[in-house]
Amino acid sequence: MKAFLWIALVCMFAVTTVHAQMDQPLTLTCGNAKVVKAEVRTVDQGDPPMLTVTPVNQAGEHIAGLVPADFRITKGKKTAEILSVSEITAVENTVMRIVFMVDNSQSMSPHLDRLRSTLDRTIKSFSPAVRVSVMFFREGDLLHAPFEYNGKPLPMIRLPYTTDKNRAAEYVSKLLVESNLSRNTYLYDGVFATSQQIVADTGKVDRSFAIIFSDGQDLGSAVAAETALRADKHGTIFFTIDYLTEANDFLVRLASSTGGEHFQARNAEDLAGIFEAIANKIVAKGYRVSYRFKEPPAVSLAATTNELVMEEEIVRETFPMLNYVFFDQGSSVIPDRYRRLLPEEVAQFQEGAIEGGALDFYYSVLNIIGKRLRELPDAEITVHGYLNNTGIEKRNETLARSRAEAVREYLRTAWGIEESRVHVETGGLPPLPSSSRDSLGQAENRRVEITAENWDVLRPVTFVRRIAGVSPPQIQFRPTVKADEGLETWVLTVEQNGQEFDHRQGTQPESGITWNWKNREGALPASTGDLLCRFMVRDRAGDTNLSEPVTVKVREVRSERRQNVSVSDDGITKEKISLILFPFDVAEPGQRNERIMEEFVYPRITAGSRVTVNGYTDAIGSEEYNLTLSRQRAEAVRDILLGKMGEAASEQVTAEGLGETTPVFPNEVAEGRFYNRTVSLVIERYPQ
C-alpha cells in the first residue's frame, strides 16, 4: 500500500520567470508495503530541502529500516531525487511542554480504568526533555484555585510542569477516580485555564502542545466559548478529542485555529490509538528525507538584428478618364466588369487607391464620377444612350434610353445623386461613331457617354500606390535552452504596441528560427512601435520559463516617385506620360486634351527637355492606314507643344507614329481599343 500527503508550497521567483510547478503541492509517496500512513510533520526549505516524515504501520507504530527507495517526492510532474534518509527515534535536544486538560466529569465514570491506563502509557512515552502539566475540573473549595477569570476563581486544579513522567502519571491515577468526578462540565473554563497555564510558563521551549480531552459538553463555565478561543496561546498547537459524542464545533475550531487536529473517539477502545497518534505527532519519531528537484528550464534569446527598417515607396500614376460605359448587344444592364458598390460601401471608396492599371481604374469609372458629384454639389452631368443600329438595336430608342437610365439609377441608388443633376439624352449612333461595318466598331457604339461642363468631374485621375518593403528581409532568432527534464514545447512571441503581433511554436529544440517579418495573416508590422520578442519554454515536468525580451527598433523610411519615371546613371530623368485619348479615326486632340496638356504635361517639361511624341491606334482598319493615323496624332500633339514652347524648340520635340503594332492595351475589348487611341510623351530632363 502507498501512503500520500499533499503539502502546498508558495515560492517567489524573478518577475521574468514563470515556473508552472511552483504553485503545485509536494506529494510524498511511501511505497513500502508495511506503511499505511506517512505524515509529513515539517518542511525545511534549506539546501538541500528536507521533510520530516512519520510512516506508521496498521497498528499506528513506527516502522524501522526504511531506505531511499521507499520514498518518492513529486511536485506536479516533477520527481525529486532522494538524497538521503535518516531515521529518528527520539526528540534529540528539543525542549517541549505538553499540557493535558482532562474532562473528569461524571460522564467518564464507566471509562475511568481505560482512561487512566491510556494516559499513563502516553505520558510515560515522552522523553526527559518534555515538561508535562496535567489539569482537571475541581468543584467545591476554590480558595486556592490557580486560575481565575474577571477576578473569580475557575473550577480547575493542576499539576505544574514537571519532567518527572512517573509523578505526572501518579497524579492522574490519584485524581481520575470516582470520588473526584465533577457534576458539571467546564470545557470553556478548562481551555481558558490551559491558555493561562501556557502563558504563565516563562521557561524557554522549542515546541508547545496542549491535549484537550472532553465529552464535548459545557454545563457551567463562566468563560464564554469565543473568549476561550481568542485567549492568548503563545503559538501552542492544540489537539482535541471528542469522547462518545458527535464532533463538537468548539473543539473542531480550537484545533483548526492553532494548527492542530481534532479526533473523535466513538468508544473506549479508540482512546489508545488516538493518544498514540497524538504522541507520534509530538514525539519526533520517523525519518528525515532530504531531496532535490531538477532545475526549471533556463532560456535566453538572441537575434541577428536589432533594427527593422520599414520602407514605404509612394508611386503616383495618372490616367485619363474614359467617360464611356459599354453594353452587350441588345442589353441595358451594366456589365459585371464594371465595379459597383452598395450604398454602405461608398464611404470607404477612394479613387486614388484603386489597385491595378488603367483598365482596373476604368472599371470604377461610375464610382469615380459618383464620388466627384458628391464632392461637387453644384455639378451636373449628361448621360447619352447610344446604339450600334444593327439587329435588335436598330432605331431602338427605348433601349438607348434604358442604357442611360441604368447609369443614372446606379448613381442615384449607390451614391445618392439626385435625378435632377443627371440629364438623360438618347440617340442612334454616337456623334463620333466607330466603324459600323466591323464587329469591333459595333461593340464600341453600343455605349453611354458621360459629359459635364465642370472640368473636375471628368479630369484625369491620379492614384497612389504604396509599396511596402523591409530591410533586412528577414531576422533569425537564436534561442539557448537548458531543460534538465526535457523540452516539451516552445513559443516565440512578437509584441508591438502592447498587442501580440505574431507567434511561432514547436516541440523540437531549435538553434535558429527565421522570420520574414510577416504574421500569419501576411501583414507586416506597423511602421511605429518597437517589437518585443520573447521565447518561452515548457519542460516535460510542466515548468515554464520566459526569456528576457529582444527589442527590435522599428524605423520608417518613405520615398515618393511617379510611375514610368527612371533616372540613368548620368542623371538624365526619363518620364513617360500617356494621358491623351482620341475618338475613333480622329487625329485632332480637341479642347479637352488641350486642357489635360495644360495641367498635366506642360509642368513636367523643363527648360532644355527633349520630348518624343509616339502615336498609337487600335486594331480596327488596315495596318497601313493605322500607321498613318498614328503619325497624324503624334504630329498634332507635337504642333500643340511647339505652340507652347516656341518654334525654337522644334529640334527638341520629335514625333513618330507606331500604328497598331505595339498596342498598350488589349484590342479584344472596347475599352482597351479606346485606350490604344493615344499618344505617349517621353520627356527627357537633363541635369542643370
Residue that is written with C-alpha cell 512571441 in the block: 493
pLDDT in tens, 372-399: 999 999 999 999 999 999 999 999 999 9
Cα dihedral sign, 181-182-183-185: negative
Across 191-297, where does the E strand assignment appear?
207-214, 237-243, 261-265, 286-292
Q: What is the mean pLDDT of residues 69-78?
A: 89
In the three-class reduction of DSSP (H, G, I as helix; E, B as strand; rest coil), residue 566 is classed as strand
Burial of residue 426 (number of CB atoms within 10 Å: 0-12, 13-18, 19+): buried
Task: Considering only residues 109 and 2, tell me which one the structure prediction assigns the higher pLDDT.
Answer: 109
For the chain, give the number of residues: 688
pLDDT in tens, 416-439: 999 999 999 999 999 999 988 889
Q: What is the mean pLDDT of residues 665-681?
A: 89
**For the chain, percent of residues with pLDDT exceeding 90:** 55
Per-residue confidence (pLDDT) for residue 266, from 0 to 100: 86
Max Cα–Cα distance, the chain, nearest Å = 145
Task: Considering only residues 561 and 19, tell me which one the structure prediction assigns the higher pLDDT.
Answer: 561
Distance of alpha carbon 164 from alpha carbon 159, whole angstroms: 11
Confidence of residue 2 (pLDDT cuts 50, 70, 90): very low
Alpha helices in 224-267 (DSSP H): 225-230, 249-258
**For the chain, percent of residues with pLDDT exceeding 70:** 92
pLDDT in tens, 280-313: 777 657 888 999 988 889 999 999 999 999 887 6
Per-residue confidence (pLDDT) for residue 7, from 0 to 100: 32
Identify the CA nearest to 136 among candidates 238, 213, 230. 213
Distance of alpha carbon 431 from alpha carbon 449, whole angstroms: 10
Question: Using an 8 Å Cβ cutoff, are 342 and 414 in contact?
Answer: yes
Per-residue confidence (pLDDT) for residue 239, from 0 to 100: 95
Per-residue confidence (pLDDT) for residue 56, from 0 to 100: 84
Q: Give the type of residue at 323.
A: N
Is 60 exceeded by the pLDDT of residue 5? no
pLDDT in tens, 80-128: 999 999 887 655 556 889 999 999 999 899 999 999 999 999 898 887 8
Distance of alpha carbon 199 from alpha carbon 202, whole angstroms: 7
Q: Which residues contact 660 (CB under 8 A, 6 or more apart)?
A: 616, 617, 618, 619, 623, 626, 627, 630, 667, 676
Per-residue confidence (pLDDT) for residue 382, from 0 to 100: 96
| Four-CA torsion 119, 122, 123, 127, nearest 10 degrees | 180
Distance of alpha carbon 502 from alpha carbon 520, whole angstroms: 7
In the three-class reduction of DSSP (H, G, I as helix; E, B as strand; rest coil), residue 225 is classed as helix
Identify the CA nearest to 493 among candidates 523, 537, 528, 529. 537
Per-residue confidence (pLDDT) for residue 9, from 0 to 100: 27
Question: Using an 8 Å Cβ cutoff, are 667 and 608 in contact?
Answer: no
Q: Which of 323-332, 463-472, 484-493, 632-641 has the lowest mean pLDDT?
A: 463-472
Distance of alpha carbon 433 from alpha carbon 483, whole angstroms: 81
Listing DSSP states for 113-135 in one string gives HHHHHHHHHHHHTS-TTEEEEEE
Strand partners, 131: 97
> Mean pLDDT for the chain?
87
**571's torsion region: left (phi>0), alpha (psi -120 to 50) or beta?**
left
Confidence of residue 496 (pLDDT cuts 50, 70, 90): very high
Across 304-454, where does the E strand assignment appear?
307-319, 324-326, 381-385, 422-426, 447-451
DSSP letter at 334 equals P
Distance of alpha carbon 212 from alpha carbon 135, whole angstroms: 10
Strand partners, 682: 576, 612
Q: What is the mean pLDDT of residues 575-581?
A: 80
Distance of alpha carbon 204 from alpha carbon 167, whole angstroms: 22
| Four-CA torsion 52, 58, 64, 67, nearest 10 degrees | -70
User: Which residue segments constitute the domains of the chain, with CATH numbers given?
Assistant: 3-89 (no CATH), 96-282 (3.40.50.410), 298-309+467-561 (2.60.40.2550), 321-458 (3.30.1330.60), 565-685 (3.30.1330.60)
Per-residue confidence (pLDDT) for residue 263, from 0 to 100: 93
Identify the CA nearest to 400 among candidates 425, 375, 373. 425
Distance of alpha carbon 56 from alpha carbon 66, whole angstroms: 11
pLDDT in tens, 262-276: 999 888 888 888 888
Task: Considering only residues 305 and 354, tell me which one the structure prediction assigns the higher pLDDT.
Answer: 305
Three-state SS sequence of 151-193: CEECCEEEEEEECCHHHHHHHHHHHCCHHHCECCCCHHHHHHH
Distance of alpha carbon 97 from alpha carbon 160, whole angstroms: 11
Give the cell for residue 422.
Answer: 443627371
Is 50 exceeded by the pLDDT of residue 18? no
pLDDT in tens, 592-609: 888 888 888 888 888 888
Confidence of residue 543 (pLDDT cuts 50, 70, 90): confident
In the three-class reduction of DSSP (H, G, I as helix; E, B as strand; rest coil), residue 499 is classed as strand
In the three-class reduction of DSSP (H, G, I as helix; E, B as strand; rest coil), residue 22 is classed as helix
pLDDT in tens, 405-414: 999 999 999 9
Across 33-119, where does the E strand assignment appear?
37-44, 50-56, 71-75, 78-79, 81-88, 96-102
Q: Tell me the CA end-to-end span of the chain in Å, nearest whole number.
A: 99
Confidence of residue 138 (pLDDT cuts 50, 70, 90): very high
Q: What is the mean pLDDT of residues 442-450?
A: 94
Question: Using an 8 Å Cβ cutoff, are 23 and 10 in contact?
Answer: yes
Per-residue confidence (pLDDT) for residue 564, from 0 to 100: 67
Give the cell for residue 529.
Answer: 512601435
Per-residue confidence (pLDDT) for residue 315, from 0 to 100: 67
pTM: 0.47
How does strand 261-265 pair with strand 237-243? parallel
| Four-CA torsion 317, 323, 328, 329, nearest 10 degrees | -140
How far CA 380 is from CA of 331, 411, 420, in Å, comes to 26, 12, 8
